[in-house]
Structure 1
Amino acid sequence: MPQLAVFDLDGTLVDTPRAIVETFTATFTSLGVAEPDPGAVRATIGLPLEQAFGRLRGLPPEHEQVTKGVRQYQICFKELILPRASELLFPGVADGLDTLRSQGILLAVATSKFHASADALLKAAGLRDHFAEVVGADQVIHPKPHPEPGLLVLETLGVPAGRAVMVGDTTHDLRMAQAAGMRSIAVTYGIHGVAELATAEPTWTADTFDDVVKLLGAALPSMAEGPAA
């Protein structure tokens, strides 16, 4: 039975927060709407796109203006972020994923991005082949912090929760992991700070991706089957 590491994408593998702010700004401008506050945009990172856009516009996620905005965001995303994807990887990510795979650890992604956007970003960054499964917010009914994305990864790959660790930079990732019965690693170099991450009670905390690799290399082989304690 393999061990599994599940990663968030934005703020964990790829340093996209600044680019996300740029993309929202470009989207709002193209729609003729006042530019959003950068801090407000950063506060939505980790939420599904409809929820983020709706919150920034003060509209419900199902509103037609939100739907229109999401479509425009995806266009801007392709123009602004994908060409820079390989430059946006956090230090140590490419080599670290190679190391984990060489240790026989199965890798997956659970993200609040739509699947198509996540898949395109991973391909553009040269990372897609590392991952056995990529689950996006549009593939579940209840996105993070609900356990459904994590549970879908576990079910698809046939790995029990007790042999899996979630790695993420927001409390949404950590709470999803806890609810799904997985252990978790909080990374401090992304969106949420150390104090906020601590409120979600991660199993471990890492300051760099190299630290993540060391923690996973030590923890996963020693895990017994069954739900996390």
Structure 2
Amino acid sequence: MTQDDEPTAGPPAADDSPPEVIGVRHGMFGVTGTGDTSGYGRLVAPVTLPGGTPPPYGGHFDDVIEALRNALSAKVSRAAAGFADAVEKVVVFRDELTVHVRREHLPAVARALRDDPALRFEMCLGVSGVHYPDDAGRELHAVYHLLSMTHGYRLRVEVSVPDSDPHLPSLTGVYPTTDWHERETYDFFGIVFDGHPSLTRITMPDDWRGHPQRKDYPLGGIPVEYKGARIPPPDQRRAYS
């Protein structure tokens, strides 16, 4: 597979699944009580996620999905998951390919993406988290950005977990580069990567309460807490002027 002279993936097909509405946003940034006089505070917009995309996907995307389907099907005899069990949906959105994977099958899918000669996604460029407070039962998403240096392709793998059980299998055994990225995602979003060799906070102090990049985390005025010390927010500090 090569990317030369291939058509790029086109716009979503007309029979794509409709966008999934998971909430409603009020105001520009969801902030209230600020005395806004711009008018943006009256905006009401749905919070949506792209729906699944049926094949054909366009360009090399069809080759990638077919290769993944074959790789997973070949492993079924060895008690591994097939494509239908492992993959929730495939999304082509803004010329990017995303495979949504069920969390219990994430390591098997990652190994197939890395090892199959037709795929060869040898590198994980990063792991990031997303928080959708209104997406009941799957409030937390982990997003893996993969690169095939062999074929020159990129792929996004996305996995969702509930806030009440925010556990995912660690991919450090498949992609060692995820070591620090999983720690950062744990620190800022609270996703627990089971099997990680040292899942500790990477930016915030060890005893920090909460996860600062969740959307329900306070925007300001948070007391800074360290071991044996507490620094109040700016509006509560002693003034010397």
How does the TM-score come out when normalised to structure 2? 0.26
Q: Which has the higher contact order (CA 8 A, sep 6+)?
A: 1
Between Structure 1 and Structure 2, the one with more strand by share is 2
> Which is helix-richer, 1 or 2?
1
Larger Rg: 2
TM-score (norm 1): 0.27
